[in-house]
Amino acid sequence: MHILDFNKLSLRDINKTLQESDKNSFFSIRNPKGSHALAVGINKKITVKVVGSVGYYCAGMNKFSDIKVEGSAGPGLGENMMSGNIHVTGDVSQYAGASGHGGSILVEGNASSRCGISMKGVDIIVKGNVGHMSAFMAQKGNLVIFGNAGHALGDSIYEANIYVAGEVASLGADCIEKKMTKKHLSKLENILSNANVSDYNLDTFRRFGSARSLYNFNVDNAKIY
């Protein structure tokens, strides 16, 4: 294990070391003190453990690597990630996992507003609550919420799935509750077991997705022209 300490190294040095490291290396990052853009743009399978809270854009564009934050993360965690796993033991701020293409994000605390906005295939699991406008224009992937969801959940959603165990404050435009089929239950079980989450009761989850009514032009609007 290599220790990278913010008290001795600059953010640029730390990110460079991570990006240029050998495959399967293991790093422990100390004293991040809310630094922005930590562990971004990694594109090989390495393991990074961050001891402490991080600022904006942690683990952005992640590919293959496993990144664990023992603390909380600021806005834009794992933005546009492609693959790999991100695990945050605390809370995360706005737009976690925004436009993520693949991989998984596990948040043990709460996520703030716009969690999974425009997600394109990433799986996001939040053990606490999510804020308003979560999964806005979500295209693909799964957002699993153990707690409650804020207002306008899944507004203008495409083909992503949302699973919620708690209460939903309100649904956004074109987002509806859908039947939880056996197929979806086993999908959900898969997502959770892939993320090593074990303490759950599948029966408590409800499923939400697109009514697909915004997909095509509504001919009734033609008279406007």
Partner 1 sequence: MCGIVGLFAKQENISANLGVHLSKMLESMSDRGPDSAGLAIFGKPIAKRAKIMVQSQSPEDDFQKLKKFLSTKKEISFSFETHSTHAVIKLDVKQKDKVASLINDTFPNLRILSVGKKMEIYKEVGRPAEVVKRFEIAKMKGSHGIGHTRMATESAVTTLGAHPFSTGEDQCLVHNGSLSNHNSLRRELMRKEMTFETENDSEVAASFITYRMNSGKTLKEALESALVELDGFYTFVVGTENGFGVLRDPIACKPAVLAETPDYVAFGSEYRALTSLPKIEKAKVWEPEPATVYFWGH
Name the residue nearer to partner 1 (CB basis): 121 or 131. Answer: 131
Residue 11: half-sphere exposure toward Cβ, Cα within 13 Å: 15
Of the candidates 182, 138, 169, the residue with the CA atom closest to the CA atom of residue 156: 138
Name the residue nearer to partner 1 (CB basis): 74 or 121. Answer: 74
Of the candidates 97, 123, 34, the residue with the CA atom closest to the CA atom of residue 71: 34
Least gap, CB of 127 to partner 1 (angstroms): 15
Least gap, CB of 113 to partner 1 (angstroms): 6
Name the residue nearer to partner 1 (CB basis): 110 or 161. Answer: 110
Cβ count near 204 (within 10 Å)? 11
* Chain centroid offset of residue 67 CA: 13
Least gap, CB of 192 to partner 1 (angstroms): 25
Least gap, CB of 17 to partner 1 (angstroms): 22
Using CB under 8 A, list all residues that contact partner 1. 33-36, 52-53, 55-56, 72, 74-75, 90-91, 93-94, 112-113, 131-132
Whole-Å CA distances, 30 to 6, 37, 70, 121, 207: 6, 15, 10, 31, 39
Name the residue nearer to partner 1 (CB basis): 113 or 161. Answer: 113
